[in-house]
Structure 1
């Protein structure tokens, strides 16, 4: 647990009455706290509490309407990311600010390449890159295109980029959401090392035990207001939840309903192979929740994409309700009753500029058209029913889905497939970047779908989530299925299979 913090006489960073409003609606009100050099400061709250907005103000992405941000006791106006970078602040958001078609090395030193008399000196950049990787323990290929990296590796590139700039304040928004357990522990150790050397860390995370294990102090926001700023050592996960939501929260999920022996196989895959997976075979029965566990890069997400027809296979076959699907494509798999919640809702799951209602209605649009004309009444009724089912909060039907909180976006992503409930639901990272209340809702939604007869395959980097939801668990390593465990499974057995 974090240590109690005594602030230096001059904090490296202070907020004094910071506020922000959009269209007359206040999203931050009177936020005031100080952060000492070398402190790790946790910023907690439900989705929509104002955490990401506050980080964006510190990173210069948006400008505060009220109050002041002070560096070394001096009020500073942060009008752009360049202003923040000039003051030694780096913001690592959930949406990574990388250039996908450039190499890892180029991204790390973007805009700050070594030069001599105006000429680039690549050898100097490479030496510095190797030094940074050795310092934090990252294993990155400097010549790999960022577009080819999984999310966890791409995040490591962002961290290296911040260190290359010499940042003294590092603001991280959900830094471990895309990481498996081993990568998470590695990152947290890196943050501890950086803090011990004097770097100030501000971290937003929904993993409360993680924050309690690393933070010196914690600030809790609720509905844009500051509820508390206190030593982490004074809190438990339960006490933080009460501060965040203002009430007790039930256990994260129920136990999955028992699966009848007579439940038929709905989806069967035999020997699926491509450049990311090798000879993957599995089956899932009606009403069953099958969990896929493994490290980042083990082939979990790639298996879901192959089943959905998003990635082509070079060998193997998929059958739905006993009928083989030839030359699987996304359209054919949707027609056969499959749905996919992808790993990244913003890159692959939602059309961010379109409204929440349009996103929810999109996959089932063809069923509400007559002569190419959409039946607006039927669509509105279907959307309202799904919005209530997935518990999207607020009057958001006509709001661009990109403007919603992470929790509401994730619920909308589920909702788009529930206008016509699928036979098989493939779910990749069901609760990434959502608050504890939304997590409860999503877990219960998955359990309700399975209880109603939907076959579910779920992937999560959070092993406890897979264990809580699943009837069975398959473990993947290096693109292969290496073990199978019935529920309840032993955590150490699963981790041993994933690593060894």
Structure 2
């Protein structure tokens, strides 16, 4: 019998005294697609990072092709043919695609780079993967999906036999997802092993040979994927049946006043957006990548200055809108990227949650810490942030708990308008349900909510109304219950009736 490509025995890991992995035993066969699933905080990404050398296990052993390995750094894993492609990415934005793909591994003779050989190898990799990437493009100028392709190209250029991928489809368009899943199948058919962490269970089951479920740091099962459905995986992930993924929005009173309005908003992609949201209403914004969804939220919050148009809260125009003035008017923004735009990762949970409301607890240059701790503990309980302690670094929390912390930060200010961009990106099904219930609960309190999501089902499940953007303009408006096909038709510019 052929030895497993990877064999893990008794792996364990703790942070700040809290165990995130306990006594994990796992075998991964050569040439298989092996998916790791579980709730946020279950230990999936930690296990993946241990295999990729980014995190050192506290206990246990790891073997590659039957030979024990010591993994202290990513270089150790690369030497064993394992390449980690993480959610955060590890590219050099200021350098070209070609330089990133061959970073540290340039073809050379007597210390001199041989660019012609690198370019020939690069072209061969493009043929293998089917990617179309300009080798001279600056990586920092590329869309997220293309940057991910560069990471895959780099892994293959290193001769990786094992690709460990953490949430690779979370930021991709539907077309890009299909292409990536097709590539994963081809790589496995070619003999490479792919380990995939994903919250998208339909995708998992469409591509996986085997699936492993982690729950609270424990391995619950590791079986052939063909034996499971999304429902059975969810049941093992959360330890119970999870029936509702979308919370219905609360009834909207017919006399609810308009809380937020915008007329003629323009800047860059956004080309004359008109919208209004009533108190207690959830307005969904759908559209393809590049339609202007996130850009519209940034204009409403003043993060980008509109070149034309006006934003009003409760009928009062907000002139020369900035984030500070938006906050003073009661507008809050949960941004698309919690790690780059929403959180200070090196600071504590308490500091992050308190950040947007420091002014209310200041006495001169000092902050009333007792008041701050009490307020943070109360709001953290209300959104169910699960952290070892309030002073733990927020980067140690799971993605779902980090997302809850973003909501908690704004709830301390009691906003009148809540703008939410991709509210459940990178979170598990249980955390997604909690966040949906939180959003509908805030609407029930009279807060006007605007939700942008790449998931059509999420928008349709949460919103009273849906605006579809296309090329920076409103391409359609739909009331609750509109067919998914009609919304997609408006997004793609096909003929379709608004409801």
Q: TM-score, normalised by structure 2?
A: 0.94
Cα distance change of structure 1 residues 481 and 144 upon mapping to structure 2, 3 Å threshold: farther
Deviates more, 1:66-75 or 1:392-401: 392-401
Corresponding residue for residue 156 of structure 1: 149
Query: Could you tell me how far 1:119 is from its partner in structure 2?
Result: 3.0
Q: Deviations over 1:174-219 (max 9, x none)?
A: 1111123222222111211211111111011111121111111111
**Partner Cα distance (2:438, 2:270) in 1:** 29
Aligned residues: 493
What's the counterpart of residue 333 of structure 2?
A: 340
> 1:181–1:461: 8 Å Cα contact kept in structure 2?
no
Alignment of 1:44-443 (within 5 A): 44-443=37-436
Contact 1:291 1:474 in 2 (8 A): yes
1:38 aligned partner: 31
Taking the aligned partners of 2:393 and 2:308, their CA distance within structure 1 comes to 41
* Secondary structure at 2:411 match in 1: coil
Cα distance, 1:272 vs structure 2: 2.1
1:3 aligns with none
**Residue of structure 2 in register with 1:465 after alignment:** 458
Secondary structure of 1:416's match? helix
**Whole-Å separation in 2 of the counterparts to 1:435 and 1:207:** 8
Equivalent position SS for 2:467: strand
Q: Secondary structure at the match of 1:279?
A: strand
Q: Secondary structure at the match of 2:297?
A: helix
Q: Alpha carbons of 1:259 and 1:24: their partners in 2 closer, same or farther (altered >3 Å)?
A: closer
Cα displacement string for residues 142-197 of structure 1 (whole angstroms, at most 9, x for unaligned residues): 44433333433322222222222221111111111112322222211121121111
CA distance in 1 between partners of 2:295 and 2:245 (Å) = 27
CA displacement at 1:117 relative to structure 2 = 4.8
Does the CA-based 8 Å contact 2:16-2:388 persist in structure 1? no
What does the per-residue CA deviation read over 1:427-453, in whole Å, with 9 as the maximum and x for residues that have no partner?
A: 111111112211111000000111111
* C-alpha separation in 1, matches of 2:117 and 2:272: 44
CA contact (8 A) 1:310 1:330 kept: yes
Post-superposition Cα deviations, 1:67-126, rounded to whole Å, max 9, x if no partner, equal: 221111111111211111111111111111111222333222222234455433444444
Corresponding residue SS for 2:219: strand
Backbone CA RMSD of aligned residues: 1.9
Compared CA separation, residues 496 and 349, structure 1 to 2 (3 A): same
104 and 279 in structure 1: CA distance in 2 versus 1, 3 angstrom threshold:
farther
1:14 alignment counterpart: 7
**Is the CA contact 1:292–1:476 (under 8 Å) kept in the aligned structure 2?**
yes
Note the C-alpha offset of 1:130.
4.2
Q: Distance in 1 between matches of 2:108 and 2:308?
A: 49
* Distance in 2 (alpha carbons) for counterparts of 1:471 and 1:28: 41
Look up the match of 2:448: 455
List per-residue Cα deviations over 1:343-370 (Å, max 9, x = no partner).
1111110111211111111111111223
User: What SS does the corresponding residue of 2:431 show, helix, strand or coil?
Assistant: helix
Runs of at least 5 residues in structure 1 that lack an aligned partner in the other structure: 1-7
| Cα shift readout 1:220-271 (whole Å, capped 9, x = no counterpart) | 1112221111111111222112211222224112211232232222222222
SS in structure 2 at match of 1:413: helix
The 1:299–1:165 alpha-carbon spacing in structure 2 relative to 1, beyond 3 Å, is farther
Deviation for aligned residue 1:295: 2.1
Once residues 189 and 405 of structure 2 are traced to their aligned partners in structure 1, the CA distance between those partners, rounded to angstroms, is 41
Deviation of the 1:490 alpha carbon? 1.6
TM-superposed CA distance for 1:139, in Å, is 4.0
Give the conservation status (yes or no) of the 8 Å contact 2:212–2:220: yes
Q: After alignment, is 343-352 or 250-259 more displaced?
A: 250-259
SS of corresponding position for 2:355:
helix
Query: Residues 74 and 409 from structure 1, CA distance in 2 versus in 1: closer, same or farther, beyond 3 angstroms?
Result: same
Q: CA deviation at 1:41?
A: 0.4
TM-score, normalised with respect to structure 1:
0.93
CA deviation after TM superposition for structure 1 residue 134, in Å: 4.5
1:179–1:461: 8 Å Cα contact kept in structure 2?
no
Contact conserved, 1:150 with 1:297, CA < 8 A, in 2? no
